[in-house]
Amino acid sequence: MIRMSLRNILGMFVILYVVLAGGVSATTANGTVIKLSSEGPIIIPEMPRFIDVIGTGENDTYSLVLRANVTDPNGVKTVIGSYCNRSEGVWHNVTMQLDPHYDGDIYTVTARNYTLTNSNSGVVWDIRFYASDYLGHWSVNTTFQSVNRLWSSQPPASPSPPWYLIAVSAVAVTLLALAVVVFRRRMK
């Protein structure tokens, strides 16, 4: 038979409350304060929605580079990039490393080389990131898509206002205003 004292029961409730309230803080021997979080790392994908590439369309080879900003107050232990070419339907996992070429907590990996030709001038990638901290908490971001598009020349620029239409419209309005002024003077 287990005997629980009131002190033990209150101690368990305090521990449960602290864990549910977002963790506790601990101080190391050198005075560094560490916040022990009960949540996994924060993952922010650092990849564009569209990746436009210029090529000949004759077996041009490109690399899929996965990139994510991953942070955690307890330290990031593992980051895994997961990707799937929509036309193949198979998911692949690759371990990512902290990239020394970026400031902050950017993890990258060259996940795969692939070929774009005139017959498959675009690839839709489904991408997901998993990360764990040193306390064993895991996080996963929602799946997002990145689309690679092949262009034989410079891709079309973002739509901009048709300046010639604006200029013609301004001239037309000016001529109309001038005609109204002339017509009113003649009527007097």
- The per-residue pLDDT for range 72-96, each reduced to its tens digit, is 998 999 999 999 999 899 999 999 9
**Most confident range, picked from 32-46, 80-94, 110-124:** 80-94
Strand pairing partners for 148?
A: 51, 123
pLDDT exceeds 80 at position 111: yes
pLDDT exceeds 70 at position 134: yes
| Cβ atoms of residues 130 and 139 within 8 Å | yes
* pLDDT tier, 37 (very low <50, low <70, confident <90, very high otherwise): low
* Secondary structure letter of residue 153 according to DSSP: S
- Average per-residue pLDDT for the chain: 77
d(CA 7, CA 130): 40
At residue 12, the pLDDT reads: 47
| pLDDT-above-90 percentage for the chain | 30
Strand pairing partners for 78?
A: 132
Domain ranges of the chain: 1-36, 41-151
| pLDDT-above-70 percentage for the chain | 69
**Most confident range, picked from 4-8, 35-39, 56-60:** 56-60
Instruction: Classify burial at 57, counting beta carbons within 10 Å of its beta carbon; exposed 0-12, middle 13-18, buried 19 or more.
Output: middle
| CATH number belonging to domain 41-151 | 2.60.40.10
Report the pLDDT averaged over residues 162-177: 77
